[in-house]
Amino acid sequence: MIIITFRYRHRKEILIGIILFILLSIIIGSIVYININNKVEEPIVIEKKKETKKQTNKEVYKVDIKGQVINPGIYSLNSNSRVIDVIEKAGGLTENADTSVINLSKKINDEMVIIIYSYDEVKEFGKTKEKEKQVLTECKNNEIYSLENNACIEIKETTTISGKININTATKEELMTLTGIGESKANDIIKYRETNGPFKTIEDLTKVNGIGESTLANIKENITTG
């Protein structure tokens, strides 16, 4: 009777041990299987990253900017950039820059050439009213650079053929080309004319907060009211 009891208990312990071994094997197998799957997926993720980088590189354009900017040269910009972005990349405009014949909002193209002219150069394009029709041609094919200017536009009402800025219709960017007029003052000019109506005389510009006689004296020859 003692021998039978001993064998039964022994078999029970062996059975429990076998069950535990099977469970442990299943757990270890599951862990190994998960790790193998993760390793297989890693190259796919890396490949996607490489693909994205390759696509980004295709969207970078090189643009050549010359003339009245602080640092003329060739710059790399994103394909959705505009002429104004290239100017900022080149350090901004010089005091002699005249953007009246330039489309600042134009989107750039690869190998684009942008020439920023001086006030004197623009005046030479059309000294009289009869020459207005020739301005676009002169702008695009300036003999000084012997290059086509891809940023040229036809003359709009915001400026006159003499290269002067119309303070009643000029954009913020055009006003900022004037000596001593930064972004803040340009915004104040636009706000003033929207609130009080157009400027009747150039001297009315001194009614704008922050613009005094000295500032007006510096830009008087470069502005008009219409």
Reported as a single tens digit per residue, the pLDDT across 113-136 is: 899 988 888 777 655 444 445 555
Q: Residues near 166 by Cβ (< 8 Å), separated by ≥ 6?
A: 157, 158, 159, 160, 223, 224, 225, 226
Same domain (yes/no): 78, 105? yes
Range of the domain at 18: 1-58
- What digits encode the pLDDT tens for the residues 24-33? 888 887 777 7
Cα 36 from Cα 30, distance rounded (Å): 10
DSSP code of residue 209: T
List pLDDT tens digits, range 140-195: 666 666 677 888 764 444 444 456 788 988 888 888 888 888 888 999 999 999 88
Q: Do 152 and 67 belong to one domain?
A: yes
**Residue 223: CATH number of its domain:** 1.10.150.320
Give the total number of structural domains in the chain: 3
Domain boundary, last residue among 14, 43, 58: 58
**Encoded tokens for 51:** 């693909």
Global pTM exceeds 0.75: no
Q: Give the pairing type, strands 165-166 and 60-67.
A: unpaired
Q: Are residues 95 and 115 in the same domain?
A: yes
Between CA 70 and CA 60 the distance in angstroms is 23
